[in-house]
Amino acid sequence: MEEIEVADYLYLTRFGAAYLEDIGAVVVSDIHLGYEEVLAKNGIFLPRVQSDIIYNTVEEIMDKYNPSKFIINGDLKHEFSKNTPQEWQDVYKLLEIISKRSEAIVVKGNHDNYVANIASKLNIKVYEKYQEGRYVFHHGHKRFRWKEFAIIGNEHPSVGLRDSVGSVVKIPCFLFFKDKKLIVLPALSIFAGGSDMLKSDIMSPVLKGVDINSARVYGLWEPYGIIDLGNLGDLL
């Protein structure tokens, strides 16, 4: 399935992006550009393939939805303490790609201490929290208040699906709390494997204030797109 409408004009998509038709926006989270360079400094070497995959995914999202606004909801980059050379290159290029077709909006995540230095080169503002229409966008690494819909990242949610012989397939997912009007986005990064919500401790302080088992789980599985897996509590 390409997308699932979870509320009027609010769609969760197979790309890991939410499409907010009423404000003409898409939102993604947890891209973690520069991940490979940070690991290389610690002696772990990965092929630098993530950025091109992210660029292509972003282009696909824009081709599909033609958004007037493209919101990155935190952790655009990976290194906490500075902007690495790879981050300067990859973050700048991604924001440039977006800016040619849409308005780029960056919400600051806990990894984004210096991302504003890069974004400013393209006259893009970085927000601690961004609000548009009925939506509040926050990375989710701190508590905050909202009245209508809140959209966060930070948690990198996934679920490990197990069969009768114990095999496990771990897939990224959206979490949707209908009563709280809260959406948790999956990580767009190909390296952010995600926290298995069926067994991991909760990371985001926002999620520590809700009944996690009440979340509706929408998994992203390449052969099938986005699929409704039911309530998290029923998957335990």
DSSP state of 63: H
Q: What is the pLDDT of residue 151?
A: 98
> Over the stretch 143-197, which tens digit does the pLDDT of each residue have?
999 999 999 999 999 998 876 676 778 899 999 999 999 999 999 998 887 788 9
Q: What is the pLDDT of residue 91?
A: 96
> Over the stretch 24-59, which tens digit does the pLDDT of each residue have?
999 999 999 987 777 677 787 777 889 999 999 999
Residues contacting 158, CB < 8 A, separation 6+: 170, 171, 172, 173, 186, 193, 194, 195, 196, 197
Distance CA 105, CA 69 (A): 7
Q: Is-contact 47 39, C-beta < 8 A?
A: no
Average of per-residue pLDDT values in the chain: 93
Cα–Cα distance list, 20 to 8, 49, 146 (Å): 9, 29, 17
Report whether pLDDT(218) > 90.
yes
Nearest 10 degrees: CA dihedral of 17, 21, 23, 28?
A: 0
Alpha helices in 45-153 (DSSP H): 50-65, 85-99, 115-119
Residue 102 sits in a domain whose CATH number is 3.60.21
Distance CA 33, CA 107 (A): 15
The pTM of the full predicted model, rounded to 2 decimals, is 0.94
Alpha helices in 125-192 (DSSP H): none
Count of domains in the chain?
1
Domain that holds residue 95: 3-235
> Over the stretch 97-132, which tens digit does the pLDDT of each residue have?
999 999 999 999 998 889 999 999 999 999 999 999
| Band of pLDDT at residue 234, cut at 50, 70 and 90 | very high
